[in-house]
Structure 1
Amino acid sequence: MKPFFYALPLAALLVLPAIMAQAAPLPVTLARAPFGTTANGQAVERFTLASITGMRVQILTYGGTISAIEAPDRAGHVADVVLGFPTLAGYTGDSAQGGLFFGSTVGRVANRIAQGTFRLDGHTYHIPATEGTTALHGGRIGFDKHVWTVEGTTATAHDASVTLGLVSPDGDQGFPGTLSTHVTFTLNDRNELSLHYRATTDRPTIVNLTNHSYFNLGGEGSGSVENHVLRINADSYTPVDAHSIPLGTIAPVAGTPLDFRTPHRIGERLRDTTPQMMITHGYDQNWVVNARPASVPVLAARLVDPASGRTLDVLTTQPGLQVYTGNALDGRYTGPSGRTYRQTDGVALEAEHYPDSPNHPNFPGIELWPGQTYDETTIYRLGVEPEPRAHG
């Protein structure tokens, strides 16, 4: 019997390649689904970006949150490598308790502002304190506690994306100016998740945006990340006082437990008794990323799980990297795995400007003026390392 295409007319043969091309699977797909309703009746949606390489990312409109990043290990087994919750109630419940910001977009100003106070353009502003006398991650109702608006989705030959937006009115949490914020989450066929932040204002204000995902490359709920190997592309950091507020100085990491210029285990010096480690009860410091200024993302950190082979590169245009070993995780939260989260069960790699920047003129500024656009990008690149060869 002749192949079926011998029986096709010439016109059909001419369009057959186009039909076959249309039927080919897209390298990255995007799906949209409901994800519950908040207590005040706001509908929340979940977007799923999936690559043919095996990587899958879930984005929630609540908090502009990364709720899952699934990636294969060296054997091809896929696992979720960020901490989170299986339902909306987990995220809203966390928010009600003050929040540990699982996977959320943090703003209007990420990290700490001393006494919740700063001066800008001749005026003094006060932000509600959320950590003792400190304003942390944008005040009591930061960007992580809002339902963001879906501004659009795209799909190209090599990636797919969703853009979320949030308008923070003048005076929101004490910050001046109406701030319009947009975050575009893009997954490509090279296992890269890109977060592109943009913001504009109608009055002078301050802005510092980041994502607060907790990574565990062994898989969510698999236990401690102390055996993960971390390298940070930073020769210096910003020392803090007893309230985790920067002293205003830039200090070398050399000779301290914060020296990750060469890769080593997170747990290797985690329990060091130097004052900086005692203050933060683990790692919760800001590293000064090398190669500044950068108009394109540069490598800030590389995280490796030797057991699974999974790797994570963090590239960013931001000048700082806050590394946090989940020191406040105390067993009160349960993830999708059904296991509770405890200290060091995840590590946050928060690309951002330095803490308390408005109160330290020598730090890179976070002021945003009318007519300017805040524009920063962070990329999470997942990969795998082969299993080390035995020597004998």
Structure 2
Amino acid sequence: MKKYHILIPSLASILLSAALYSCNPKAKESNTEQVQVDSASFNATIDGKTVKLYTLKNSTGVTASITNYGGRIVSLLVPDKNNALTDIVLGYAKIGSYQKKGEPFFGALIGRYGNRIAKGKFTLDGKAYQLQLNDGQNSLHGGDDGFFSKVWDAKQVDQKTLQLTYSSKDGEAGYPGKLDVAVTYTLLDDNALKIEYSAKTDKTTIVNLTNHAYFNLNGAGSPTILDHELSIAADSFTPVDSTLIPTGKLQAVAGGVFDFTKPTVIGKNINADDQQLKLGKGYDHNFVLNTHDSSKPVAVVKSKATGIGLEVYTTEPGLQFYSGNFLTGKDKDGKAGKSYPYRSAFCLETQHFPDAPNHTNFGSTVLKPGMTYQTTTTYKFLK
């Protein structure tokens, strides 16, 4: 049991402290009530390797907490319109909850292949491969043996930078080749979280890495994201079949329920009588981005309630917009004891297209020996 020493200050010192706090608008940024993660709850040994929680902090007080179990973003504290820090990503309060089978990939690094591959099958250099099936008849986010369940080697370079590395064995989850992966999280002073991915292989393979952060700009645990305003720089998306595998076609968004080319409230059309929305139980689709210029945002989200905005920048050609349709609120082990109900978060996963190895018109995800896979995604937060 911890022992606490209680100091009883004088009335004068209390009044002085209160006056200083009220005159300092940045004082709210250090409000410890907003910090909902106990780092000790993430100290563990998994698969014989040490797991812990790493904290990044920039010069403005923005804080990102990341565990090397699955490379997961556990907490992200950003200022709202009143300069109060708000945790805007969903996550659990302790490491054990992330190990539950069927947990929704909260904040995880995803690989080897983000999103779905039909029936877990693909052919490479004339050889057929069978992946683990963990989404009905399909493989999702690398299968049961995906990167989200691995203990990454971690090195905190400085207060703003965390480097994670993982070596995936040849044949892991059914994928060919030994794949050496490095991911660097950097918290920039303009309140942006930059994620840089790189990978090399000793045998021809396929790679599609992403991050599965669940955002709610009203604050993690708030009941809905349907009041958020979203825009996506995409004139088309990839429609899916009943198992959420792309059909191979590109469908224009203009004038339809998938048109986010102008800022649109997420809840405006989400319950419309549209076959694609019914198949996804809402939005769970890959958008074909108009630009690969990482200096321009490919998506912008805003919350009127908190004033917090999010801009997404990426070098990737696709963006999976997921509206939290499979969240149930049954979990009671969220941060600060919160649950995460239906459609209480959204994901914007930057990526190559789902099932691309089985669609020649979707662009290649092949990585060969001697090549380096490199991609960068940045989430920038505004108020």
> What is the TM-score of this pair, normalised by structure 1?
0.85
> Is the Cα–Cα contact under 8 Å of residues 193 and 378 in structure 2 kept in the other structure?
yes
Q: CA deviation at 1:39?
A: 5.5
Q: Within 5 Å, which residues of 2 pair with 1:92-103? A: 92-93=99-100, 97-103=101-107
Which secondary structure does the structure 1 equivalent of 2:107 belong to? coil
C-alpha RMSD of the superposition: 1.5
> What residue number does 1:133 align with?
137
Overall identity of the aligned pairs, in %: 42
Equivalent of 2:157 in 154, 157, 164: 154
Q: Within 5 Å, which residues of 2 pair with 1:341-380? A: 341-380=340-379
Query: Is 2:176 the counterpart of 1:173?
Result: no
Q: CA deviation at 1:52?
A: 2.7
> What residue number does 1:326 align with?
324
Task: Please give the alpha-carbon distance, in whole angstroms, between the structure 1 residues aligned to 2:212 and 2:70.
Answer: 11
Task: Please give the alpha-carbon distance, in whole angstroms, between the structure 1 residues aligned to 2:161 and 2:118.
Answer: 36
> Is the Cα–Cα contact under 8 Å of residues 43 and 53 in structure 2 kept in the other structure?
no
Which secondary structure does the structure 1 equivalent of 2:277 belong to? helix
Which secondary structure does the structure 2 equivalent of 1:349 belong to? strand
Task: Please give the alpha-carbon distance, in whole angstroms, between the structure 2 residues aligned to 1:371 and 1:165.
Answer: 19
> What residue number does 1:182 align with?
182
Opposite residue 343 of structure 1, the aligned amino acid is Y
Q: Within 5 Å, which residues of 2 pair with 1:204-353? A: 204-292=204-292, 294=293, 296=294, 298-334=296-332, 335-353=334-352
Task: Please give the alpha-carbon distance, in whole angstroms, between the structure 2 residues aligned to 1:153 and 1:49.
Answer: 9
Q: CA deviation at 1:205?
A: 0.1
> Is the Cα–Cα contact under 8 Å of residues 323 and 346 in structure 2 kept in the other structure?
yes
Q: CA deviation at 1:298?
A: 3.6
Q: Within 5 Å, which residues of 2 pair with 1:4-83? A: 35-38=42-45, 40-83=47-90
Q: CA deviation at 1:86?
A: 1.1
Q: CA deviation at 1:114?
A: 0.3
Opposite residue 289 of structure 1, the aligned amino acid is L
Opposite residue 93 of structure 2, the aligned amino acid is P
> Is the Cα–Cα contact under 8 Å of residues 38 and 92 in structure 1 kept in the other structure?
no
Task: Please give the alpha-carbon distance, in whole angstroms, between the structure 2 residues aligned to 1:114 and 1:131.
Answer: 10
Residues 223-264 of structure 1: per-residue CA shift (max 9 Å, x gap): 101001001111110011111111101111112211000001
> What residue number does 1:117 align with?
121
Residues 79-113 of structure 1: per-residue CA shift (max 9 Å, x gap): 110000111011112xxx23310000000001000
Task: Please give the alpha-carbon distance, in whole angstroms, between the structure 2 residues aligned to 1:66 and 1:290.
Answer: 28
> Is the Cα–Cα contact under 8 Å of residues 291 and 298 in structure 2 kept in the other structure?
no
Residues 55-85 of structure 1: per-residue CA shift (max 9 Å, x gap): 1001110001111110010101111100001
Q: CA deviation at 1:132?
A: 1.0
**Which structure: greater strand fraction?**
1
> What residue number does 1:3 align with?
none
Task: Please give the alpha-carbon distance, in whole angstroms, between the structure 1 residues aligned to 2:287 and 2:317.
Answer: 9
Opposite residue 127 of structure 2, the aligned amino acid is H
> What residue number does 2:33 align with?
none
Residues 329-375 of structure 1: per-residue CA shift (max 9 Å, x gap): 11222311322111111001101111000000000211000000000
Task: Please give the alpha-carbon distance, in whole angstroms, between the structure 2 residues aligned to 1:377 and 1:138.
Answer: 20
> Is the Cα–Cα contact under 8 Å of residues 64 and 104 in structure 1 kept in the other structure?
yes
Opposite residue 165 of structure 2, the aligned amino acid is G
Count, aligned residues: 344
Opposite residue 291 of structure 2, the aligned amino acid is A
> What is the TM-score of this pair, normalised by structure 2?
0.87
> What residue number does 1:193 align with?
193
Task: Please give the alpha-carbon distance, in whole angstroms, between the structure 1 residues aligned to 2:303 and 2:382.
Answer: 11
Task: Please give the alpha-carbon distance, in whole angstroms, between the structure 2 residues aligned to 1:143 and 1:110.
Answer: 10
Task: Please give the alpha-carbon distance, in whole angstroms, between the structure 1 residues aligned to 2:45 and 2:304.
Answer: 40
Q: CA deviation at 1:213?
A: 0.4
Which secondary structure does the structure 1 equivalent of 2:370 belong to? coil
Task: Please give the alpha-carbon distance, in whole angstroms, between the structure 2 residues aligned to 1:122 and 1:189.
Answer: 48
Task: Please give the alpha-carbon distance, in whole angstroms, between the structure 2 residues aligned to 1:332 and 1:126.
Answer: 33
Opposite residue 198 of structure 2, the aligned amino acid is R
